[in-house]
Structure 1
Amino acid sequence: MDAHLPPIDPIKDQHPLGDHRRRVARERRERMRERLIAATMDAYRKNAGKRRPVIDDVIRAANVSRGTFYKYFDTLDEVLAEIGRTTASEMLQSFERLFEPLDDGAVMLATGPLMALARAAMDPAHGAIVSHADLVDRINGDDPRRQLAFRSLNYGREQGVFQFDSIEAAFDLVIGTSVEGARRISRTGQLNGACIRETVVMILLGLGMKLPAARIAVAIAWQRLQDASEHLHWWKPVAPA
């Protein structure tokens, strides 16, 4: 009877086990990378306003050895670069979701700072690291956040709602106010929707808008954020006041 049994294919028998082991190993590596990234963000949060974190702070927060860190990253700057890429990608996806049907430059521009400030309050670790000079300095010409801000600024100027000559100066106003606001909010941990909106109104005033129009633009942008909050994994309920 054994002569009639189909031959065993050793390659077929071995592949499922090999594939499983590779998948498990890959998932383990991904989890460790995420753990080190989260530990880096935690280290920046704990050192907000103090010294620059070092690798020892990260491995202590992650509860891993220095050797484990170096298996995944050569320097802390590499971790920051990955955080920057992730942050930029998330913001780009959120912008596309929020603004695909929108043609109002003021509302488009207002949403960037609103997202940055709201997330700093809702996710203090994220706010601490994105407002740190180490990461702010990485917002260069190719960064999607810079490109989105420039697009909104140009669009608003073309529509006549913004008044400025130097787009670099306008960009510095937007980024500088957003970063300083995020830094302050991440330190206090206060989730004050009214203060966040007022900060962005002041940005729009600095770009040449009148107060009533600036408040309307911010109110519309804030409402769009709340309407899309189910797609923002970091969003938490905010009191309307």
Structure 2
Amino acid sequence: MLFTMPDQTKPIDHRTLVAAERREKTRAKLLRGAIHVFAQHGAEASVIELVIRQAGVSRGTFYNYFRTNEELFLEVAREVSNEIISIVDPIVLRQQDAAASLACGLVSVVRLALIKPVLARFVSKGGPDALSAGNLTTTVVPREIKSGMAAGLFTVPDERLAFDLIFGPVIMAFNAVINGRASEEYARNLAQAVLQSLGVDAGRARGYAWRDFDEVSIPAGSLFHC
């Protein structure tokens, strides 16, 4: 005799799904509002009331998601970092070595900031902390640094210094976007200069920086559509 086990799978409650979707939409609305507010006032400002007004939600709704100004800023920074990766890294991963990948990433990030200046304002106002959370700083850039050093492409003495030589110019590049000094040529020259600071000779660095990289495309539903 064959025995069949009872189905242990519980049916998905449609109301639970709807509630989860509504919660995620509200969270996204708060994050989009917070990007604009932090971009205008900076990370040190007390912005909760401003974000509540920007997002058009109640105070109680806000506190269902975030408890403090600092918690909100760190979450926005994390989402911004991960959003940059989701847009830029697919282009970067098409390159054949770490030097090309880094050049592509630098050019693409400046292009993204030119398309969405609110990103540049957020990072400029937030400073290094605006890029300190998320996988951009903990995974993606260290991945290319390690790869480049292992291949002998980067001759800088240690990974931490390489990291600083990359992110210092990136933050200043966002300032250049805000001040109207950034352009495609600026992005290419930035990439060349960073590669040279890591030990790539000038001729090769220029060759990497001026390669034909795919254009940046911001998908529907992106956090940067704000």
TM-score normalised by the chain length of structure 2: 0.76
One-letter code aligned to 2:25: R
1:174 to 166, 171, 174: 166
The aligned counterpart of 1:66 is 59
Q: Distance in 1 between matches of 2:135 and 2:217?
A: 26
One-letter code aligned to 1:184: A
Q: Identity over aligned residues, as a percent?
A: 26
Gapped runs of 5+ residues in structure 1? 1-14, 235-241
- 1:27 Cα deviation from its structure 2 partner: 2.8
Mapped contact 2:131–2:137 kept (Cα < 8 A):
no
- 1:106 Cα deviation from its structure 2 partner: 0.7
Query: Residue 184 and residue 81 in structure 1: after superposition, are their counterparts in 2 closer, same or farther (change >3 A)?
Result: same
Question: Does the residue aligned with 2:199 lie in a helix, a strand or coil?
Answer: coil
Query: Residue 72 and residue 134 in structure 1: after superposition, are their counterparts in 2 closer, same or farther (change >3 A)?
Result: farther
- 1:31 Cα deviation from its structure 2 partner: 1.9
1:197-238: CA deviation from partner (whole Å, max 9, x where unpaired): 212211112112222211211122xx3232xx347567xxxx
Query: Residue 137 and residue 109 in structure 1: after superposition, are their counterparts in 2 closer, same or farther (change >3 A)?
Result: closer
Taking the TM superposition and a 5 Å limit, the aligned residue runs for 1:145-164 are 145-164=137-156
- 1:158 Cα deviation from its structure 2 partner: 3.1
Mapped contact 1:36–1:58 kept (Cα < 8 A):
yes
- 1:96 Cα deviation from its structure 2 partner: 5.1
TM-score normalised by the chain length of structure 1: 0.72
The aligned counterpart of 1:128 is 121
1:46 aligns with 2:40: yes
Q: Distance in 2 between matches of 1:175 and 1:69?
A: 32
Q: Distance in 2 between matches of 1:62 and 1:91?
A: 22
One-letter code aligned to 1:161: L
Gapped runs of 5+ residues in structure 2? 1-10
One-letter code aligned to 1:224: F
1:107 aligns with 2:100: yes
Aligned Cα root-mean-square deviation (Å): 3.0
Structure having the larger proportion of residues in helix = 1
Q: Distance in 2 between matches of 1:176 and 1:157?
A: 19
Mapped contact 2:192–2:209 kept (Cα < 8 A):
yes
Query: Residue 74 and residue 93 in structure 1: after superposition, are their counterparts in 2 closer, same or farther (change >3 A)?
Result: same
Moved more, 28-37 or 63-72: 63-72
- 1:51 Cα deviation from its structure 2 partner: 6.0
One-letter code aligned to 1:150: P
1:214 aligns with 2:205: yes
1:80-100: CA deviation from partner (whole Å, max 9, x where unpaired): 333333334334445652344
One-letter code aligned to 1:195: Y
The aligned counterpart of 1:32 is 26
Q: Distance in 2 between matches of 1:137 and 1:157?
A: 23
Q: Distance in 1 between matches of 2:169 and 2:217?
A: 27
- Which of 1 and 2 has greater Rg? 1
One-letter code aligned to 1:208: G
Mapped contact 2:98–2:148 kept (Cα < 8 A):
yes
The aligned counterpart of 1:7 is none
Mapped contact 2:82–2:135 kept (Cα < 8 A):
no
1:204 to 157, 173, 195: 195
Q: Distance in 2 between matches of 1:26 and 1:167?
A: 41
